[in-house]
Amino acid sequence: MDVDSGPVHWGDCQARKRRQPGPDPHPRWGIRLESCSFLEEDFIPFALLNMMMGGGGSFSAGRPSKGIFSRLYLDVLSRHHWIYNATSYYLSYEDTGLLCILASADPRQVPEMVEITTKEFILMGGTVDAVELERAKTQLTSMLMMNLESRPVIFEDVGRQVLATRSRKLPQELCTFIRNEKPEDVKRVASKILQGKPVVAALGKSTDLPAYKHIQTALWSKDGRLLRTYRIFR
């Protein structure tokens, strides 16, 4: 039996498409550890540590010079094809700061993704290569100077520093602070940050995400391995 449903309008087709549920996003997870405020002396070592890890982007298409020598690119993205993204960023405020790693992967690889990210945090407190540190210094200095080429950014920088510290450090002073940092300084702040409790956030299908207590235990261990758990029924 044929049923005439009447004319189909373009608007109706578009509405039906919008109502259809889309695919679940790839699981994303982030782990954050408390660092320091921008008023403390460890602010520069933490910024260098962030550049060594990924510098706000482990890899950027079209800009091959950004991030391809970072730890997240060399040790995570290049070795594990099922990890789609790995990013490090550093936030600093007047009272405290956060050093973060965000990652996304195939839903079937969530526990492995968490363990690999946890291991990268632990490896931060290990040996700091001199060449790696010099590269991070160059990147941080270049980022600072290029951002200050714009007059609105200069005015914003002056306003932020004066409101927060009642004074302003010139770019030349900050570049001197960056050049004077040593591998021991970066290693010290990396070991310091691992003593705190992590903040964990997840987006997407996270049924296989390890328990918080297991993630915390892995961060405080020497190898970063997670406690293995098995499910009989799924």
- For the chain, give every domain's residue range: 24-219
Task: Tell me the pLDDT band of 49, cut-offs 50, 70 and 90.
Answer: very high
User: Which residue would you say has higher pLDDT here, 8 or 88?
Assistant: 88
Task: Tell me the pLDDT band of 42, cut-offs 50, 70 and 90.
Answer: very high
Distance separating alpha carbons of residues 10 and 113, to the nearest angstrom: 43
User: Which residue would you say has higher pLDDT here, 61 or 174?
Assistant: 174
- Whether 205 has a pLDDT exceeding 50, the answer reads yes
Distance separating alpha carbons of residues 108 and 111, to the nearest angstrom: 8
* Bridge partners, residue 218, by sequence: none
Percent residues over pLDDT 90 in the chain: 35
- Name the strand (E) or helix (H) holding 104: strand 97-105
What pLDDT is recorded for position 127?
Answer: 84
| Listed ranges 52-56, 151-155, 225-229; the one with the highest mean pLDDT | 151-155
- Whether 9 has a pLDDT exceeding 80, the answer reads no
Kindly report the number of other CB atoms within 10 A of residue 62's CB atom: 5
Rounded to two decimals, what is the model's pTM?
Answer: 0.79
Kindly report the number of other CB atoms within 10 A of residue 61's CB atom: 6
Architecture of the structural domain at 24-219: 2-Layer Sandwich (3.30)
